[in-house]
Amino acid sequence: MCGRYFQQRSSGDIARHFGTRNATPNLVPSFNRAPTQDGLVVRRHPDTGARHLDALRWGLVPRWAKDASGGAKMMNARSESVAEKPAFREAFRKRRGIAVADGFYEWQMLGPKSKQPFAVAMADGAPMPLAALWEGWREPDGTILRTFTILTTAAAPELAVLHDRMPVILPPEAWDAWLGADEADEAALLALLKPYPRKGLAVWPVGSRVGRVTEDDAGLIERDPLAQPPTGLDDPPPRFA
């Protein structure tokens, strides 16, 4: 799953990395982004074909929803059912995007009331491109609320000790197909929604403060010196390029 992530780069740096063409949104970076907060999403403009970077609210609200209160529960969508589930199937066909993070958090359960948080980032320090869907919902006053959800898949085997799910990370060669710039049928799109190889990721334990959504500073992604992580899940935090 993906219930919390961090984006420490500026919107401008992200816009340059993805080659977006619209005015860059003024979204303040966050080390503890949570559902119902705004996040950066790369989308393809339907008329020009250019990539755009926009700030959308995390937690998808389907067009047919009576109100927006259920959005937080739709922060994630399971890739195995995304083409059929009513809340996501139209967005899967027509409104795919890339949610941009620098990494995400996951919690390893140590006991009934004990858990160890971990940070997961790209091993080379690059931005982390997460497969997403977006939607527009009309509010009672006529304004459009644009929201997104992050797709998940089975965790890479080495990460399953933390959680059995992980967000779908899209390599650069998949971006055009996912965004709709390259033609791809449903089967080809679903084939992109697979676990990212462990060797391409950096994983390390972090402190428990990240569990409090009010905490938001660079110290959240520092390695927890008191943690005793499982073998193979204690990489040095990357230098974010």
Residue-wise pLDDT tens digits, 124-182: 999 999 999 999 999 888 899 999 999 999 999 999 999 999 999 999 999 999 999 99
Tell whether 228 is covered by a domain. Answer: no
Assess if residue 237 is contained within a domain.
Answer: no
Quick check: is 169 in a domain?
A: yes
8 Å CB contact between 167 and 130:
yes
Output the pLDDT for position 71: 77
Q: Residue 151 and residue 87: Cα distance in Å, rounded?
A: 13
Question: What's the first-to-final CA gap in the chain, in angstroms?
Answer: 25
Q: Please report whether residue 234 resides in a domain.
A: no
Answer yes or no: 183 catalytic: no
Counted domains in the chain = 1
Query: What is the Cα–Cα distance from 77 to 194, expressed in whole angstroms?
Result: 13
The encoded tokens of residue 70 equal 């259920």
- The residue type found at 211 is G
pLDDT tier for residue 210 given thresholds of 50, 70 and 90: very high
The CATH number assigned to the domain holding 115 equals: 3.90.1680.10
| pTM of the predicted structure, to 2 decimals | 0.96
Which of 80, 84, 90, 106 is flagged as catalytic? 106
Is position 226 within any domain? no
Does 68 map to a domain?
yes
Q: What percent of the chain has pLDDT over 70?
A: 100
> In a 3-state reduction of DSSP, which class is residue 131?
strand
Beta 51-58 vs 144-154: how paired, if at all?
A: parallel
Q: Is 186 a catalytic residue?
A: no
Find the domain containing 30 and state its range.
Answer: 5-221
What residues does 51 pair with on adjacent strands? 44
Within-domain flag for 239: no
Burial 209-240 (b: 16+ CB within 10 A, else e): bbeeeeebeeebbebbeebebeeebebebbeb
Contacts of 132 (CB under 8 A, 6+ apart): 41, 96, 97, 98, 99, 148, 149, 150, 151
CA dist., res. 213 & res. 210, Å (int): 7
Residue 203 forms part of a structural domain: yes
